[in-house]
Amino acid sequence: MCGIVAYIGQRDAYPVVLKGLKRLEYRGYDSAGVAILNHGLHVYKKKGKVAQLEDFLTGKNMQSHIAIGHTRWATHGEPCDRNSHPHVSGDGKLAMIHNGIIENYALLKQELLNKGHQFESDTDTEVLIHFIEEIRNSNQCAVEEALRIALKRVVGAYVIVIVDEDNPDTLIAARKGSPLVIGVGKGEHFLASDASPIVEYTKEVVYVNDYEIAIVKADELILKNITNERQTPYIQKLDIELTAIEKGGFDHFMLKEIFEQPQTIFDSLRGRLDAKNGQLTLGGIREYTDVLANARRVIIVACGTSWHAGLVAEYMIEELCRVPVEVEYASEFRYRNPVVGPGDVIIAVSQSGETADTLVAMESAKAQGAIILGVCNVVGSSIARLSHAGVYTHAGPEIGVASTKAFTAQLAVLCLIGLKVAIEKGSISQQRFQHLLDELQDIPEKVGLALKLNEQIKQVAQKYKDARDFLYLGRGYNFPVALEGALKLKEISYIHAEGYPAAEMKHGPIALVDEQLPVVFVATRDSFYEKIVSNIQEIKARKGKVIAIVTEGDQIIPAMADDVIQVPEADELVSPIISVIPLQLLAYHIGVSKGYDVDKPRNLAKSVTVE
Ligand code: F6R
């Protein structure tokens, strides 16, 4: 949520920052801006996507060895030029970019207004840079010192980067609660919200920790904590390649990521699943499988698509491990004063590893004595670091705002966790264990087969793209898949869609059904098959249009559905990894056929770092 990027070094800084902003645009795209130093500070900002800023700056002299840039997802103040970042101090000498929220900005603003400060924007960010300026002036100290004093009073989450006209060889950055990566090059440094703007220049990075301040020069990186003690920067090697963050011939990142799934699921299983020898290794949680097996309760906290993965995991873990599982919206869990403590195991599921609601839920459960395990995609992310232990999903960078490959990798990893605990606990037979290992092993290939349905699904999308509403129904393991299908459609086609347990439909939503309403049934062959066939008949009896996702070879449902999509057969425990594929493609093609930017749906941003 909001992307920040900055550069200092021998290169021309503006092109580096501009390219970085394009890579980070998935984090927010309602406005963008840059600041450079070239005989003084110059700040340029524009409402709209980064391309609009680029057009606006074409032909301008942007030469500078230092630059900061920002792509915004509005929190305080509508998207407009005035509210875009960077924001500047009253004397026009300091410019700042910010990702996060300053919660006590109103109080600080009032204090500053009383002292005569004037503000041009509605943002909390402008308040913070004025606050730093005020401290610098009244204490006659350096910006670094003023920043340190200011941050002690700031409540909220931030990554900020400041450029100072009077100190043109230094960038100053600070982090609390939002991500900041510093790329270390030869005589140059790159700062960004994630590694994607950095990877083409250097593989050496430092992940800045909460409450750290970075003083960054072209050839020097100094890290200090908030009490001014030097910290040793811990340089890590990036393990992503440039190709992972480029479209690679696909029209959209979303489509590329959907099609990557046979590989990403394989990657999430690699080195862990050895079906041939009946082995499963999960080094990340080796010391916690016992704790999980004997947990009083497992509580899965997550948001959005990751929450849907958590719902599937509830079915998996309860069935395999016979441990009670609850799945909580992280935002609700944290604030309803939940009963949680020693004996409980929290599993936080997150693609980005930076989702503020999930982080806060974890922090509060940890403080009350629960064990925290993380299932994250982004290595080194805040959620990964806050967890006692965890398992990475290894799906690679997910850039399309609507989550696809992260979801299937989460399902694969959560299934591995359930199986590992079950076999150690003895709550699964050796035979069923081996069967499920074999099933998991076959999943990448079956997902590949499901992707071959792309053209057929494109035609189904054409047929239904003008519908006003959609209903998605499923039972058992396929109920969360129905929720996920509805979420995907809403996000990228702006069509209202609801997911429901198929049986629950008759307790209310059936009132919506008429000949205009497409109802997507996720009805693969599982223990609920006969029941869902009855639900399909109930919809047909009311003239609803049925699009059914069924198992290959099904003879019964095709006879009653309007459109049928046949996916490869799989054990019901792992079937969601396959049955979600047509729903991702359906949403994609409907969104594209309506002319929308499916990679950057309106109002959304990836990595929701505000509560
Ligand atoms: C949906 C989507 C969001 C995220 C949610 C959680 O397509 O992308 O609903 O799933 O914001 O994000 P993470 O998984 O990064 O915690």
Contact 470, 486 (CB under 8 A): yes
Opening angle at CA 441, ends 437 and 443, nearest 5: 115
How close is the Cα of 271 to the center of ligand 1, in Å? 26
Q: Which atom of ligand 1 is nearest to the CA of 352?
A: 15
Q: Which atom of ligand 1 is nearest to the CA of 401?
A: 8
**Mutate which of 308, 355, 362, 378 for ligand 1 pocket (most atoms within 8 A of beta carbon):** 355
Question: Average pLDDT by consecutive 10-residue portion of the chain (611 residues)?
Answer: 94 98 91 96 96 96 98 89 96 96 94 97 96 98 97 93 98 93 97 95 95 97 95 91 87 97 97 97 95 97 98 98 97 91 97 94 96 95 94 95 97 98 97 98 98 98 97 97 98 97 92 95 95 95 96 96 98 98 98 96 82 75
How close is the Cα of 305 to the center of ligand 1, in Å? 5
The catalytically annotated residue of 2, 303, 321, 415 is 2
Rounded distance between C-alpha atoms, residue 417 and residue 424, angstroms: 11
In this prediction, residue 605 carries a pLDDT of 82
Name the residue with the closest Cα to ligand 1, atom 9: 304
How close is the Cα of 44 to the center of ligand 1, in Å? 31
Name the residue with the closest Cα to ligand 1, atom 4: 304
In this prediction, residue 240 carries a pLDDT of 83
How close is the Cα of 582 to the center of ligand 1, in Å? 19
Residues in the chain: 611
Q: Which atom of ligand 1 is nearest to the CA of 406?
A: 14
Query: Is 321 noted as a catalytic residue in this protein?
Result: no
Rounded distance between C-alpha atoms, residue 208 and residue 194, angstroms: 11
Rounded distance between C-alpha atoms, residue 326 and residue 600, angstroms: 32
Contact 125, 85 (CB under 8 A): yes
Q: Which atom of ligand 1 is nearest to the CA of 303?
A: 6
pTM of the model: 0.89
Q: What 8-state DSSP symbol labels residue 324?
A: -
How close is the Cα of 207 to the center of ligand 1, in Å? 22
- Comparing CA positions, the residue from 513, 514, 533 lying closest to residue 522 is 533
In this prediction, residue 6 carries a pLDDT of 98
**Mutate which of 27, 608, 611 for ligand 1 pocket (most atoms within 8 A of beta carbon):** 608
Query: Is 606 noted as a catalytic residue in this protein?
Result: yes
Residues at CB less than 6 angstroms from ligand 1: 303-306, 350-352, 355, 358, 402-403, 487, 491, 607-608
Rounded distance between C-alpha atoms, residue 545 and residue 329, angstroms: 32
How close is the Cα of 545 to the center of ligand 1, in Å? 30
**Mutate which of 329, 351, 399 for ligand 1 pocket (most atoms within 8 A of beta carbon):** 351
Q: Which residue has the tokens 């940890």?
A: 366
- Residue 70 carries which side chain, given as an amino acid letter? H
Side-by-side strand order, sheet with 389-392: 325-329, 297-302, 344-350, 371-376, 389-392
Q: What 8-state DSSP symbol labels residue 410?
A: H
Q: Which residue has the tokens 């450079």?
A: 36
Q: Which atom of ligand 1 is nearest to the CA of 402?
A: 7
Contact 317, 357 (CB under 8 A): no
In this prediction, residue 177 carries a pLDDT of 84
Rounded distance between C-alpha atoms, residue 370 and residue 333, angstroms: 14
In this prediction, residue 426 carries a pLDDT of 97
In this prediction, residue 28 carries a pLDDT of 86
How close is the Cα of 301 to the center of ligand 1, in Å? 12
Rounded distance between C-alpha atoms, residue 22 and residue 7, angstroms: 15
